[in-house]
Amino acid sequence: MSALTHGYQHWTGTSTSIWQRRVAIARQGLRLCWRSRLLKIVFAIVWVSALGLLAFHFLVGQLLSPESALLGYIAENFGERAKAVVDGLAAWILLYPDVSVDGLYRFTFSYASQLYGAISFYAVALFVPKLISHDLSSRAILVYNSKALSRFDYLLGKFGIVFSLLSALTIAPLVVVWFLGNAMSPDWSFFWHGFPALVTALAVGLITVTSIGLFALAVSSLAKRTSTATAFWILAWVVSGFVAGASSRVFSWGRYLSPANCLREISTQLYNVAGVVEHAKDVLPFFRSTLESLPRKSSILAATPTESIWVPVVFLCGFCALALLAISKRVQPE
């Protein structure tokens, strides 16, 4: 029977592109996730801490300005000796910005990345049911499959939700701190000297966001109901930590059985704060003696990691491959 007998009319409007359809999936998912009040609180915590980090870099910039009111305040309230120490630190930074500025940003960004990575875990727990679990339980995935969308398009749209949210939590704050911190510095060359630290922060952020995004989609696809997706996410993260802790007592690589440990080790290796400190000891006058006067338990004196970065990278790639396998098995056209 001809379709014309049923009143079929060819669509004469403007067709949307495939990328517009992918973006539509991500945009609708972001709207659903942003309804969570707890998620908004998590974002507020991250960006308030970013403002605190920016204030710290602003104070460092003020110490480098001879006419700064902060120097006068230090001399007035803490004495000329304290001001002399601050002037010495400022001289180090101004004379050796390639070491000092890069080291300062690596040091602050390394701790900020670890903090934001931990917060991302809690953020995912708040919106993981709204990724794939919601579509599977409500059978909405049948509607997606009936449209001109492939499984890849559907998953790309869902990944866009996780990537956008986690990027706003882990990458965007550091980029803003780097730009505004250098903009308020006394020398425009600080942009150039701090650029390697920014590249490292972007690399760590992209690895973290991509990995956690894949894990979140895998857990969300394995949960048959939205009510269990959050429990699955927390349970998987906690169990992997216990397994890694127990295995590390038998095998040196056992600690990498936890994705969180892999991400933490990769971040430490890429920032290489201890290596920057060792380099500064050889370059900056009196820096070695200054550090040696600090308590030995200070983390800044930690030795440079000797284990290869490829060990946690291989384990992390294995976890990502398992996540992709789980997603492909669960999200199939019906």
Q: Per-residue DSSP letters for 310-332?
A: HHHHHHHHHHHHHHHHHHHHHS-
Q: How far apart are CA 296 and CA 303, in angstroms?
A: 12
Q: Are 169 and 116 in contact (CB under 8 A)?
A: yes
Residue count of the chain: 334
Q: What per-residue confidence (pLDDT) applies to 333?
A: 54
Q: Are 240 and 190 in contact (CB under 8 A)?
A: no
Surface-to-core class of residue 109, CB atoms within 10 Å of its CB (0-12 exposed, 13-18 middle, 19+ buried): buried
- The amino acid at 201: A
Alpha-carbon dihedral sign for residues 154, 156, 158, 160: negative
Closest C-alpha among 195, 209, 235, 49 to residue 117: 209
Burial 97-107 (b: 16+ CB within 10 A, else e): bebbbbbbbbb
Q: What per-residue confidence (pLDDT) applies to 278?
A: 80
Q: Where are the beta strands (DSSP E) in 5-68?
A: none
Q: Which two tokens stand for residue 116?
A: 């934001």
Q: How many CB atoms lie within 10 A of CB 262?
A: 25
Q: Which residues of the chain have pLDDT under 50?
A: 1-4, 297-298, 300-304
Q: How far apart are CA 75 and CA 44, in angstroms?
A: 36
Q: Which two tokens stand for residue 327?
A: 């997603």
Q: What per-residue confidence (pLDDT) applies to 17?
A: 72
Q: Are 194 and 105 in contact (CB under 8 A)?
A: yes
Q: What per-residue confidence (pLDDT) applies to 155?
A: 84
Q: Are 152 and 257 in contact (CB under 8 A)?
A: no
Closest C-alpha among 77, 73, 44 to residue 59: 73
Given its phi and psi angles, is residue 324 left (phi above 0), alpha (psi -120 to 50 degrees) or beta? Answer: alpha
Q: What per-residue confidence (pLDDT) applies to 84?
A: 66
**Ranges of each domain in the chain:** 26-60+98-330, 64-95
Q: What per-residue confidence (pLDDT) applies to 144?
A: 59
- The amino acid at 327: I
Q: Are 93 and 103 in contact (CB under 8 A)?
A: no
Q: What per-residue confidence (pLDDT) applies to 256?
A: 93
Q: Are 240 and 231 in contact (CB under 8 A)?
A: no
Q: What per-residue confidence (pLDDT) applies to 153?
A: 81
Q: Are 134 and 226 in contact (CB under 8 A)?
A: yes
Q: Which two tokens stand for residue 193?
A: 């000297």
Cα 155–chain centre separation: 21
Q: What per-residue confidence (pLDDT) applies to 226?
A: 75
